[in-house]
Amino acid sequence: MGEWFTSFEDAWRHFLGREEPLESFHEKLEADPDAVGEGWLLVPPEEVRDAAGAVQERLAQFDFLALTPRHFLHVWLRARDGADVEALAAGPPFTVAYARVNCFHDAVVVEASAPRLDEVDAPPQFLPHMTLAYVRTAADPAPLRDVLVELRDEALGAGEVTELLRVRFPFSRSTVLEPWTVVERRSLRG
């Protein structure tokens, strides 16, 4: 696995110059179909998910990508490492903007930005994003790069975050994009 990025600009520069194949997200997952994951996330509003679907239509041509189903579009906040969920939950609702398509080693993402997310304690590699597609099998990045350069400045909209969800979800190679179960909800008050 390539090293974790500490800025979206680093990720984008790396993708633009990448010659080695994109890495398979699925190969890193457990084979056990009963494996589960759990953590905190926020769900983007309907209009952002609609805009994500339009971008995903451009990605559908790549058979090495697994498009993130609409029900699974989210911004991951924390499992063991990530944003300080307690600090987020103790504050008021905040707005997240979804703009700028990017590519990590194993996923196509859209950047999720909010001053509030920048203010809370998080490791330097915490880059809030919504994953549009996961790399299913290792692949040459060049054809995807041609499309993502055109999509780079796409703005998918913004939405107010009023609650955070702790979810449990299937997390194996064969089950990862199935629906999650909400374990806990935290309303933002401030």
In the chain, the domains with their CATH numbers are 8-187 (3.90.1140.10)
Question: Please, which residues have CB within 8 angstroms of residue 108's CB and are 6 or more apart in sequence?
Answer: 59, 65, 101, 102, 131, 132, 133, 144, 148
Look at residue 123 in the predicted model and tell me its pLDDT: 86
Question: Please, which residues have CB within 8 angstroms of residue 10's CB and are 6 or more apart in sequence?
Answer: none
pLDDT in tens, the chain (190 residues): 567 899 999 999 999 999 999 999 989 898 999 999 999 999 999 999 999 999 999 999 999 999 999 999 999 997 667 788 888 999 999 999 999 999 999 999 999 999 999 988 888 888 999 999 999 999 999 999 999 999 999 999 999 999 999 999 999 998 989 999 999 999 997 5
d(CA 40, CA 184): 9
- Which residues in 162-187 are b (16+ Cβ under 10 Å) and which e? eebbbbebbbbbebbbeebeeeeeee
Half-sphere exposure (Cβ direction) of 52: Cα atoms closer than 13 Å:
30
Strand intervals (E) in the chain = 36-42, 65-67, 75-78, 94-103, 107-113, 129-135, 155-161, 163-170, 181-187
d(CA 121, CA 117): 9
Strand intervals (E) in 11-68 = 36-42, 65-67
124: exposed, middle or buried (C-beta count within 10 Å: 0-12, 13-18, 19+)?
exposed
DSSP conformational letter for 98: E
Cα dihedral value 59, 133, 113, 185, nearest 10: 140
